[in-house]
Amino acid sequence: MKQVIKPPAWSKRAGYKIVMLSLLLILVPAVASAKTILYVPADDRPVSLQYVVETVKAANYEIILPPVEFLAGRGHEGRPEVLWQWVRQCAPQADALVLSADTLLYGGLVNSRTHNIPIYGLEERLQSFRQLKKENPHIPIFVFATVMRSPQRSSGGMEPSYYEQEGNHIFWLTALQDEAQCRQLTPDKQNRLTQLQTVISEAHLNDWLSRRTKNYRINAELIGLVGQEAVDYLILGRDDAAPFSQSHREWRQLAQLAAALPSEKYASFPGADQLGMILLTRACNQLSGKRPAVKILYAAGAGPGTVASYEDQPVGRTVAEHIIAAGGVIIQEPQEADLVLAVNTPLSGRTEEADDFSNYIINRESTGQLLTLVEQTVSAGIPVAVADIAFANGADNSLLQGMFTRRLLDKVAAYSGWNTASNTLGYAIGQGMLAPAMTDKDRKRLLAVRYLDDWAYQANVRKEICLEVLYPNQGKADYLNWLAPQIANRVEHRLQLFCRSYLWLDPDDIQVAFPWNRMFELDVKVGK
């Protein structure tokens, strides 16, 4: 008779242990493979912090953030010394570090233009990057910084107070000096340069240039840290530049210092507010071992030859530099692409302001052609990111109305159309590259925020509220103050009406705020 061997008795306790062990064996690899990025933004604005963090989290990465009270906000500086302590303490928990040098050196992006920190203090903080790498040799350190901007005008405390009166003169003086170094000035321009030298306050000009000298020296030393492998990748953004400007002049000199650095280590292109998004995308791609292949499509007309407002080079070069900085490669065949980037450029090659009367809905042939290409690409199952740079500081109403009519608003991988062309490109490329890792719900939520902010608000509602509420009450766009609650309520109502007409959200889930107490900076929140 064959002996039957009975299995051991199955107790509830033993069964529980075996089930739990099985679950651990299943879950541990998933936990172990989770990637974490430590991020220090340029300040606490939504475009620097909230919107970027939501994108990275939607792509299934963990992100470690400093306490918000350590960061710069409207009216208060960041705390570099405390932030450095926090970074060094938390760095070992991360797989990659993405750090704003402007925050860790000056206290924030705005403070980099207004501070009075002595150069020895800045250089002492700069050495912390070297110490950080020494303590964490195997963790990649990605750093972004800015070449101090030289805008034609400024208000609301974004530059030293004298810049509101003398900024335009300072801009043109230094722009003409830059142009004179690149080519011979016409007699009219030479006369204007001579005249400007007599009308600008010498004390104010010296103060502005002395701060720029510090900024240049620090940026040069950051380039040196890349060469010494204390920083793994550096982006120098050229904030609010022009084809000829003091920013352009300094960039030309910095480019000579960085000439020996490979593209895998260094980049410099226009813009500032998109740099965190681009470097976080690069970190995600590097940690996942991906190099997304990107095919670029341009609207008919000037296309890549467009030189956008607030920038100092053709768009075609800027697009390519952003894709490479984000960790992607550029290809020519759309069927081989991981992402198609559709760039909406103006037919004329000139970018007007989005709140200008010229931004009315019209059936342009060039817009229709681009939309057809987007439609065909989406139908082929290839992700499309739309970078809408036909206008500065808001969306192209004709393009977005066309996307709505063709039922493309929720079909694209990403959309962006805010502030400068480079700001828009950074978000479109970053969110577009990370979209495949997102749930459909998260992708649509990020799209909705961009449509509400860039299209509804920046291109349309902002100017309406200025005319209806701000100006009749003698308010100022840079300081909303007592009008802020009324304006927020009015804007929220308008965006909810917009949502009912165009989007897929529950309008009651939309909330807005003005975290920097000015019309330009909107914080849009939508339901999870």
Report the pLDDT averaged over residues 154-172: 90
Is pTM beyond 0.95? Reply is no
Q: Which of 24-38, 112-126, 387-401 has the weakest average pLDDT?
A: 24-38
114, 159 contact by CB (below 8 A):
yes
Given 419, 438, 457, the domain boundary residue is: 438
453, 418 contact by CB (below 8 A):
yes
55, 434 contact by CB (below 8 A):
yes
Residue 277 sits in a domain whose CATH number is 3.40.50
Name the residue among 58, 96, 65 with its Cα closest to residue 432: 58
The pLDDT score that the predictor gives to residue 15 is: 42
Residue 447 lies in a domain: no
Instruction: Tell me: pLDDT of 176 over 90.
Output: yes
Residue 448 lies in a domain: no
131, 223: one domain: yes
The pLDDT score that the predictor gives to residue 241 is: 84
42, 127: one domain: yes
The pLDDT score that the predictor gives to residue 34 is: 67
499, 422: one domain: no
The pLDDT score that the predictor gives to residue 75 is: 86
284, 309: one domain: no
Residue 334 region by backbone torsions, left for phi larger than 0, else alpha for psi between -120 and 50, else beta: alpha
Q: How many domains does the chain have?
A: 3
Mean confidence (pLDDT) of the chain: 92
Give the domain range for residue 503: 467-525
Report the pLDDT averaged over residues 374-385: 97
Instruction: Encode 138-166: b = buried (16+ Cβ within 10 Å), e = exposed.
Output: ebbbbbbbbbbbbbeebebbbbbebbbeb
Please state, for a pLDDT cut of 90, what percent of the chain lies above it.
88
User: Distance of CA 84 to CAs 90, 103, 240, 425, 483, Å?
Assistant: 10, 10, 28, 30, 38
Q: What is the pLDDT of residues 63-74, one digit of tens each?
A: 999 999 999 999
Q: Kindly compute the dihedral angle of the four CA atoms of residues 176, 182, 187, 189, in this order, to the nearest 10 degrees.
A: -20
281, 308: one domain: no
Report the pLDDT averaged over residues 31-52: 89
Which tokens hold the place of 452?
């509400």
Residue 7 lies in a domain: no
269 forms beta bridges with 237
The pLDDT score that the predictor gives to residue 154 is: 84
Residue 208 lies in a domain: yes
Report the pLDDT averaged over residues 272-294: 97
Q: Map 278-336 to HEC letters.
A: HHHHHHHHHHHCCCCEEEEEECCCCHHHCCCCCCCCCHHHHHHHHHHHCCCEEECCHHH
Q: How far apart are CA 388 and CA 390, in angstroms?
A: 6
Given 242, 261, 289, the domain boundary residue is: 289
Residue 451 lies in a domain: no
228, 135: one domain: yes
Instruction: Tell me: pLDDT of 517 over 60.
Output: yes
Q: What is the pLDDT of residues 444-459, one digit of tens each?
A: 999 999 999 999 999 9
80, 214: one domain: yes
Residue 133 CB contacts under 8 Å (≥ 6 apart), including other chains: 141, 229, 230, 231
User: Which three-class secondary structure state does DSSP give residue 13?
Assistant: helix
505, 526 contact by CB (below 8 A):
yes
382, 414: one domain: yes
118, 266: one domain: yes
Confidence of residue 33 (pLDDT cuts 50, 70, 90): low
Q: How far apart are CA 96 and CA 286, in angstroms?
A: 9
Residues in the chain: 528
Residue 102 lies in a domain: yes
Instruction: Tell me: pLDDT of 1 over 50.
Output: no
Across 97-111, 140-154, 235-249, the highest mean pLDDT is recorded for 97-111
Report the pLDDT averaged over residues 82-96: 98
Residue 433 lies in a domain: yes
Please state, for a pLDDT cut of 70, what percent of the chain lies above it.
93
Report the pLDDT averaged over residues 155-165: 88
Q: How far apart are CA 398 and CA 371, in angstroms?
A: 11
The pLDDT score that the predictor gives to residue 155 is: 79
Q: How far apart are CA 250 and CA 8, in angstroms?
A: 78
Residue ranges of the alpha helices (H) in 346-483? Answer: 365-379, 397-405, 421-434, 440-450, 462-465
423, 47 contact by CB (below 8 A):
yes
Name the residue among 512, 506, 508, 515 with its Cα closest to residue 524: 512
240, 247 contact by CB (below 8 A):
yes
The pLDDT score that the predictor gives to residue 143 is: 98
Q: What is the pLDDT of residues 400-442, one digit of tens each?
A: 999 999 999 999 999 999 999 999 999 999 999 999 999 999 9
Given 289, 323, 340, the domain boundary residue is: 289
Across 29-43, 111-125, 238-252, the highest mean pLDDT is recorded for 111-125
Q: How far apart are CA 481 and CA 285, in angstroms?
A: 42
Name the residue among 97, 454, 49 with its Cα closest to residue 277: 49
122, 172: one domain: yes
330 burial via Cβ count (<10 Å: 0-12, 13-18, 19+): middle
488, 518 contact by CB (below 8 A):
no
Integer Rg of the chain from CA: 25
Confidence of residue 22 (pLDDT cuts 50, 70, 90): very low
User: Which three-class secondary structure state does DSSP give residue 234?
Assistant: strand
296, 222: one domain: no
Q: How far apart are CA 472 and CA 466, in angstroms?
A: 8
Q: Which helix (H) or strand (E) holds 364?
A: none
Q: How far apart are CA 344 and CA 366, in angstroms?
A: 9
309, 427: one domain: yes
